[in-house]
Chains A and B, each alone.
Chain A
């Protein structure tokens, strides 16, 4: 119970001016007391992430351990522990439009080191999906490549390396990127030049399509 008259316990406005920010991206809720209203970030984004990822995010106490171990933190616009903080604060747009969620390599270092057992890599993976679904993704290369990989699996049952790389280069119009490297790889047999079709690929294709249709993609 919050006793408003208590001299020791005072409700302070949060560091960010939530009332001003609420017009932009933050969802707020107001809890009405007798003579004072408490304004808090609405936990809808936190809920969305936690439910979708199956991870409890709210337990974070900002120890920075995830950021300290992250091999690509210095390339991120929002470092991992701040991503978590923003999720708790309800900054949906800030997180989903960040490039950081796409810089992540899913190396899982943050997740295994988190003292609260928060699977940060999975949270970021979930944020990626949400950012695509909401049309907020700052970077589409990863999604494009991943989509082409799954396309290849849909067609052949296994990844057809040459086809996937060529289709990616074509859609990016990077016709001559890394050609010397590519030629050396082909010369040494380090790119699969032929597709590997599995026998049961028709069934697998149907299974993948059903799941994809569920996502509306």
Chain B
């Protein structure tokens, strides 16, 4: 039994709560226990840096301090939470001025930057392993032609070594392949979806997300797979903001696990772009259509 501290983040507590449930269910299946951080708070996301650099460090440090109290490595499924927490943790460990500043602000909480922050792909690859993932895939996903979409902050954190290639990451491709999906190569793995400007500039976001969607269609994919709740939402919104364009369903990686392990997903009704066609295409272990 492996235990990790778990920092869901604001998105998984509200707009992407089905991702939270999916992640817990799949990791529980593999015997990875998630201990949700007690009383965690927002990481500051893209908003804090506009106000003050110290705010960025302190908001991220609060959750790191909570995680250090537990003494376990920290899983942050949201890319923004992951990037902010990971960058802050390394900064706190390596820079005395930052460490003193955050500890003074947060007292009696304190942190030293000893906790290792991990994303969903890292957790699956390091704690479950490709062989176990491949062996556990009960349902056949051969009808899913997936493009893996990593987005910005999973592999691009300035000054922080990435566990995957910055320009052409492959971690999610390896997992999808192990699960039995057809992994379609494409060039838009790490393009920006429009990020946090969904509300302030929906036209701009729609253009970037729309382009990613178009490229996925052109690559011959039937589904886009991601791990970031904001990427998922921005791509899912294409159906509203680009009315005449083709739209593929956008899944969280853990939902593909759900398909492979259980044959169905729980959060199907939460998708703005309907996921029914994919769900119907899943073959039962015997080979017959469900």
Spell out A's residues near B (CB within 8 Å).
71-72, 75, 103, 105-109, 111-112, 119, 121-122, 125, 128-129, 132, 141-147, 149-150, 153, 157-159, 161, 165, 168, 177-178, 180-181, 184-185, 188-192, 196, 198-201, 204, 207-208, 210-212, 214-215, 217
Residues in A neighbouring B13, C-beta threshold 8 A: 158, 192, 196
Which secondary structure characterizes the binding site on chain A?
helix
Taking the complex as formed, is B54 at the interface, i.e. its CB lies under 8 A from any CB of chain A?
A: yes
CA distance A157 to B158 in the complex (A): 27
Q: Which residue of the partner chain, among B41, B42, B44, B152, contacts A107 with CB atoms under 8 Å?
A: B152
Residues in A neighbouring B153, C-beta threshold 8 A: 108
Q: Which residue of the partner chain, among A105, A161, A184, A191, contacts B197 with CB atoms under 8 Å?
A: A105
**B47 touching A190 by the CB < 8 A rule?**
no
**B152 touching A214 by the CB < 8 A rule?**
no
CA distance A107 to B23 in the complex (A): 25
Given A142-B50, A185-B272, A188-B270: A109 and B152 interface contact (C-beta under 8 Å): yes
CB distance from A209 to the nearest CB of B (A): 11
Q: Which residue of the partner chain, among B42, B195, B237, B269, contacts A158 with CB atoms under 8 Å?
A: B42
Given A109-B192, A150-B51: A207 and B10 interface contact (C-beta under 8 Å): no
Of the candidate stretches B55-63, B113-121, B135-143, B172-180, the one touching chain A is B55-63
Residues in A neighbouring B208, C-beta threshold 8 A: 71-72, 105
Q: Which residue of the partner chain, among A109, A146, A214, contacts B54 with CB atoms under 8 Å?
A: A214
Residues in A neighbouring B197, C-beta threshold 8 A: 105, 142
Of the candidate stretches B198-206, B252-260, B279-287, the one touching chain A is B198-206
CB distance from B152 to the nearest CB of A (A): 4
